[in-house]
Amino acid sequence: MRDDVERKYLLGSQELDQRRAYDAKFKLKAVSYAKKHGNYSAGRMFGINESCVRRWRQLEQALAASKPTRRAFRGSKSGRYPTLEVTLLEYVQDKLKLRLKISRKAVRKKALEIAKACDISRRNFSASEGWCERFFQRHGISLRKRRSRSSRSPKLCPKSPAE
C-alpha cells in the first residue's frame, strides 16, 4: 500500500505503461535510490523499467553535469570530424569578417579540400547539403544577404546625394 502511494506521488496521475521522457533530476533520484536498494527496486519504486535505471547509472556523471530539466542525450553536437570543423569555421569566419561573399557550394568545396588534407576518405565524408546546413546551425552562421537599406517603402527612405 505504501509503495503505491509513494509511486503515485512520484509519477502523478501518469499511467505506468505510458511511454515518458524523464528529466535529469528524476533520473538522478532514481539512480541514487538504485544505489541503496538495487536497480529492480528503483524501477518498481519509480514505475520505470529496470533497463532504464541501468542505463541512467552508466550516464550518471553526464546527468549530474547537465541541467536538471534536460531530458534527452542524443550524442555529441560537435560533429564527427572536429578538426575539419574548426579549420572550416576559421575559413568561413575570415571570409565573413572581410565581408566577402561566400556560398554554401564554396563551403562544401573547401570542406572537401580540408577533409583530403586531414586524410578523411571521400567514402566517409561527402560534404552533403544536409551536412553543410547542420554545420551552419551548429556554429550559428547565417549566409543571408546583407542589405544597405531597410525594407521600408522608397517614399520613407531618405534619398542619397547621388539622386
Please report which confidence band the pLDDT of residue 1 belongs to, taking 50, 70 and 90 as the band edges: very low
DSSP string across 105-139: HHHHHHHHHHHHHTT--TTT----HHHHHHHHHHH
**pLDDT exceeds 70 at position 26:** yes
Domains and CATH numbers, the chain: 2-65 (1.10.10), 82-139 (1.10.10)
Higher pLDDT, 20 or 90: 90
CA 146 remoteness from chain centre: 28
The whole model's pTM is what? 0.51
Summarised one tens digit per residue, pLDDT across range 127-144 is 999 999 999 988 888 887
CA–CA separation, 102 vs 135, rounded Å?
15
Summarised one tens digit per residue, pLDDT across range 71-115 is 887 755 677 888 999 999 999 999 999 988 889 999 999 999 999
CA–CA separation, 7 vs 12, rounded Å?
8
CB atoms closer than 10 angstroms to residue 46? 22
Higher pLDDT, 84 or 158: 84
* pLDDT above 90: percentage of residues in the chain: 50
